[in-house]
Structure 1
Amino acid sequence: MPQIRDRRAAGLAVLLAVLGAASTAMGLQSEAATPAPVAAEPARQEPSKNTTSIRPAPTTPGTRPATATGGAASDDSVPAPPPASATPRKAAPGSLARSEPVKLAISRIGLDTAVSRLGLRRDGTLEVPPLTADAPAGWYRHSPTPGEPGAAVIIGHVDSAREGPAVFFRLREVRLGDPITVRRKNGTVATFEVYRVATYPKHAFPTDEVYGATDRPELRLITCGGSFDRSRGSYRDNVVVYASLRK
């Protein structure tokens, strides 16, 4: 992404925080879902102890190094990121025209879900997916659409104590090379291939690494994971699946 990347990265970080915090009220995996990191006092990035990759994630030259942010949201009211000016991006070879995602499927884990649209509330705070186990995954509309250059971001709950597994309950089972298909509003299908699966501690979530600009179409699927911290009522980690558009 161009200069608007900072807005998207900040917005996505707080969106994850809202998602986790709201799910905590519901009680995920017998307790709650982990609030993902929000922008706070910078912390030294800690590399994931559970990362599988077949190649490094491509980034646009000149972007700043990945940084970690920490902190957990205490409620579901999070200010929106400040507006940033957009700079037009040149379409990468093989990229698709803009079209919003409507369906997401991963055959390995038996996932076939609708995709909702996540944006901003009237008060300027970020929306979150519904607090039900059968809620679909949500695409953050300030990220690229799947198939456009840049990292399209789709987020989902992991599970619910009241209703059981949620949309991304089995996301951690995805493997390198797995295909991910995204049906788009204009009827086209974007097929991505998983090249990395990582688990990051919430206190050291690498915002730029996950949300940073890329020259080609990419996809990020994100949910909560890792062990459950009963004292905090949340998961300790985030699971992130990285995928690139198949040629």
Structure 2
Amino acid sequence: MRCAHEDTAVRVSSLMGCTAPGRCRCGPGRRWRAWLNRALGAGRIPGMSEPDPPENAPDPAAPAARFDRRRIYAVIAGVLAVVAVIAIVAAVHGQQTPPKPGAAADPPPSSSTAASSSAPAQSTPAGPSSRRTGASTSLPTVSTSLPPLGDRPRGPLLPAANPTSISIPALKVHSSLLRLGRNTDGSLTVPPLERDSKASWFNGSPQPGTLGPSIILGHIDSAAYGPGIFFRLGALKPGDQVMVARADHTVAVFRIDRVVEYPKAQFPLHTVFGNINYAGLRLITCGGKFDPSVRSYEDNIVAFATLVSSHPG
């Protein structure tokens, strides 16, 4: 399965929403890597690690090690490729319309101005007029407002353990979690689109409850089966809770900070996947207007959450 892209802008746009079902593959091309090289500079994404750390894995509160640039490319492009696959669905049956995020809450104070440093600053979500213009020909904008790499971790942190299920009481959602990894060729495995679609944890991201932004993705809908597991993700509000059960029989409890809708052509890589000095969670699905000509949604919805507590489960 291959995706042909005529230029960098089309490549980026297609990564966030391919043009036809079943015609996507994962893994960045040369021009995508070149763009990431310019956009990210010498940055790094702490916490983005290989799955299943060994028994002697370092304390999750310890500063993250520097990763080589190829690994950063693989992680970011891999996640975006899966988001693209999630976008390859037809419009929902009849009058069913996924809810849109409300006004985003202000992010916590910046770590440069407060001792208890914060989540990354958010990009300004697009208004209705710009959101409906279709895929942009410009390159994505990337937030550069990130916590310094040397910040001391804040808030609760849990030892490493793989997630097993997710519950979102406000949405009446409960799902066991699939694990998205990489194939032998470096491409990312994709979640199946089934009647009872499940959410998926990208195991190249931190385990929920450990330092860094853990990534969980879910389908919004499909023509065959209707609403998907994250169909109502846009209805989440600041203060809502997300519970992630883990293999060590603990439950990580996250609080929603904000829910933002981003045009896919301007998806802010740093804001979503960048350095954070706390245990974070990112829930990602598609949103915005559905374009039947390319069978893809124009936007992505991202729910940002922070670990607040844990309990036996």
SS state at 1:172 partner = helix
For residue 291 of structure 2, what is the aligned residue in structure 1? 229
Q: Provide Cα deviations, 1:93-117, integer angstroms capped at 9, x if missing partner.
A: 5200011110100111100100111
Mapped partners of 1:126, 1:118: distance in 2 = 7
How many Å apart are 1:219 and its aligned residue? 0.3
Let me know the Cα RMSD of the aligned residues. Answer: 3.2
Mapped partners of 1:142, 1:58: distance in 2 = 27
Mapped partners of 1:57, 1:157: distance in 2 = 32
Mapped partners of 1:202, 1:127: distance in 2 = 21
Higher relative CO (CA 8 A, sep ≥ 6), structure 1 or 2? 1
For residue 160 of structure 2, what is the aligned residue in structure 1? 98
Check conservation: 1:69, 1:206, Cα contact below 8 A: no
For residue 67 of structure 2, what is the aligned residue in structure 1? 4
| Higher strand fraction (1 or 2) | 1
Query: Are residues 22 and 177 of structure 1, via their aligned partners in 2, closer, same or farther at CA, if it must alter by over 3 Å?
Result: closer
Is 1:147 aligned to 2:209, yes or no?
yes
For residue 104 of structure 2, what is the aligned residue in structure 1? 52
Q: Given the two structures, how large is their TM-score scaled by the length of structure 1?
A: 0.74
The correspondence for 1:200, drawn from 257, 262, 280, is 262
SS state at 1:209 partner = helix
For residue 80 of structure 2, what is the aligned residue in structure 1? 16
For residue 164 of structure 1, what is the aligned residue in structure 2? 226
Higher CA-based Rg: 2
Larger deviation, residues 217-226 vs 5-14: 5-14
Q: Which amino acid aligns with 1:178?
A: D
Q: Which amino acid aligns with 2:90?
A: G
Mapped partners of 1:4, 1:167: distance in 2 = 33
Query: Are residues 51 and 163 of structure 1, via their aligned partners in 2, closer, same or farther at CA, if it must alter by over 3 Å?
Result: same
% identity of equivalent residues: 36
Mapped partners of 2:68, 2:121: distance in 1 = 13
For residue 210 of structure 1, what is the aligned residue in structure 2? 272
The correspondence for 1:27, drawn from 65, 70, 90, is 90
Check conservation: 1:13, 1:207, Cα contact below 8 A: no
Mapped partners of 1:99, 1:173: distance in 2 = 29
For residue 181 of structure 2, what is the aligned residue in structure 1? 119
Check conservation: 1:54, 1:176, Cα contact below 8 A: no
Query: Are residues 134 and 57 of structure 1, via their aligned partners in 2, closer, same or farther at CA, if it must alter by over 3 Å?
Result: farther
Query: Are residues 194 and 18 of structure 1, via their aligned partners in 2, closer, same or farther at CA, if it must alter by over 3 Å?
Result: closer
Q: Given the two structures, how large is their TM-score scaled by the length of structure 2?
A: 0.59
SS state at 1:123 partner = coil
Aligned residue pairs, count: 210
Query: Are residues 118 and 93 of structure 1, via their aligned partners in 2, closer, same or farther at CA, if it must alter by over 3 Å?
Result: same
For residue 193 of structure 2, what is the aligned residue in structure 1? 131
Mapped partners of 1:174, 1:150: distance in 2 = 21
